[in-house]
Amino acid sequence: MDYYPDSTLAITNFPVFDLLSWSPMERALENFQGLVKVRKSVRKPVAYVIPASEKRVMEILARHRIEMNPLTEDKILQVEAYQIMHVTSITEEEEEVPYVDAYLKTVQREFASGSVIIYLTQPAGNLIPLILEPQSTFSLCGEGSGRKYNFHEYLTENSEYPIYRLMAESEVHQVKGENN
């Protein structure tokens, strides 16, 4: 998303509680950019598939209490994969973040036992694409807080992004049938 000034809201007043005076008050926020425009919109998949080798991603998702369904045997699935073409950077909220030029392709991939399926029909269903999509403002690839996680290598030009999108209901039923 991009944020722009809204001429009808040049100054935004909002309530705060002042701990020094122990009283409520109003503060004015100038140069408020309250007009939000979508930069890129992506059709959500039915589920994401994370290869068994991507333990760091699974650890982050577990910390967010996102439900993951492990494959109990190797499985070939038809998925969408991002092909990363070009990576540069842009400035968002005074931070330099990756800007990814990628396209989706439909491929068949074998996923080893221990890979996980993450269905979007769960309480965190809207959060999951924000974390896993490479072009998302909140993607784990742009996370740069200095923590031990660093996923910048996922954004290598002319490579396939290692998180896959399960789009077909028939593939979902095939996987769910195996895990039940």
Residue 120 has what pLDDT?
95
Q: Alpha helix (H) ranges present in 44-149?
A: 55-63, 127-132
Cβ contacts of 122 within 8 Å, gap of 6 or more: 66, 67, 128
Residue 153 has what pLDDT?
75
Residue 47 has what pLDDT?
96
Burial of 128 per CB tally in 10 Å (0-12, 13-18, 19+): buried
- Report the alpha-carbon angle 45-142-124, nearest 5: 40
Q: Spell out, as residue ranges, where the chain has pLDDT lower than 50.
A: 180
Q: How far is CA 53 from CA 7, 62, 87, 114, 157, in A?
A: 49, 15, 24, 8, 21
CB atoms within 10 A of CB 95: 10
Residue 101 has what pLDDT?
86
**Distance, CA of 19 to CA of 25 (rounded, Å):** 11
Burial of 159 per CB tally in 10 Å (0-12, 13-18, 19+): middle
Residue 171 has what pLDDT?
62
H or E segment to which residue 176 belongs: helix 169-179
The token duo for 175 is 């996987």
**Distance, CA of 104 to CA of 98 (rounded, Å):** 18
Residue 172 has what pLDDT?
57
Residue 39 C-beta-side C-alpha neighbours within 13 Å: 12
